[in-house]
A = this chain, B = another copy of it.
């Protein structure tokens, strides 16, 4: 009985042609991370359940893939941040801070598979962790690195929306709003609601005056540090948030990130608990409905579930699988030749058994010359070998027959130009 060779729904597997492009995307991001002095880390794909879920919320644990073996309970990692915090706690004495690491790996979430949402997918994370303190400039450094990665991929139409939790929290304090968690949840949903829906729900949470003031500030156009300062909101947290935001934007500028790649957006919230300062999300302009392709922010304490140390950090993550799917869907790779994989340049094809050894010598010679060459050992008709080249994007074919063996030469035929050249052995 044959079994259908299917893969689980929502799990990440690409066809060969797309895999070659994805490899290039992944390696490009990796190179940018490394050129910015982030070092590569690798953690187990599953960890002990009680360790990985030490601080998890109810919502997270519903999405967990559980693994059972003997009397041990494991869970698959659902992000790369919790393993990072466990790692930093475990190797605290060995790590020199500030610790800059990257990790490009798959994570697992038992969500219902749908457009842009997978059950197994790649994330490409960078984080900087400080010991006791961490300069605000690293917030800009992380955002600049993410921006460089996206630019290096050839994407021009992305925009990083930056906010600072302190601004929003300060504003809420200043307006005397008490039920701030529900308000955060509502603001987080801003893009998913119509304007009137949002305003209606807002009025159920706050007074008429508070709602008007909130809406006035959140709907400000051409929002800038200057216009935020001009609000003269006398609240310490709010002012601290503005200062931090100003510094982040200033360093982003010095780091050479083009001004049209980022903007202030006070409606960016990023969940309830984790982030404490800078927060950001990134959208492809015209494709905002796919959701953020890269998000992150500043957190006060990375690892307090595992170690009694203050470890502030700032991080960012590119949703590599989601980004790839969007780019693929909008035809980005067809227009962008950057992503043609480094391919084999020559195919050596022995004709008949007696020419096999000489064909191998031709292959060796090409490899010594530093070009990528392959050999086709099957008995094959010339036109079928040429079809194989075309299918694999191999521009040159070299047939080795008796004549070539006796003269110790190889005739290179370029399939595009149809020109022939001779290689002497």
**A residues apposed to B, CB below 8 Å:** 2-8, 11-16, 19-20, 22-23, 34-37, 39-48, 50-51, 54, 65-70, 72, 74, 76, 85-87, 89-91, 94-96, 98, 100, 106, 110, 120, 130, 133-135, 137-138, 141, 250-251, 254-256, 303, 305-308, 342, 344, 356-357, 360-361, 364, 367, 372-379, 388, 391-392
A7-B90, A373-B37 are contacts. A378–B98 as well, Cβ < 8 Å?
A: yes
Chain B residues positioned under 8 Å from A98 (CB to CB):
376-378
Chain B residues positioned under 8 Å from A303 (CB to CB):
5
- Number of copies of chain A assembled together: 2
Chain B residue nearest in CB terms to A11: B44
In whole angstroms, how far apart are the Cα atoms of A47 and B9 in the complex?
Answer: 10
Chain B residue nearest in CB terms to A70: B110
Q: Is the CB of A372 within 8 A of B68?
A: no
CB pairs A–B below 8 angstroms (17 shown):
A2-B307, A5-B51, A5-B85, A5-B90, A5-B307, A8-B46, A13-B44, A20-B39, A35-B372, A36-B374, A65-B67, A65-B74, A68-B68, A69-B110, A134-B378, A254-B357, A254-B361
Chain B residues positioned under 8 Å from A391 (CB to CB):
96
Instruction: Give the 5 A-B CB pairs with smallest separation, nearest first.
Output: A135-B377, A37-B374, A11-B44, A5-B89, A5-B306
Chain B residues positioned under 8 Å from A374 (CB to CB):
36-37, 100
A37-B373, A46-B65, A66-B68 known; 4 new pairs, CB 8 Å cut-off, are A3-B305, A13-B43, A20-B40, A98-B377
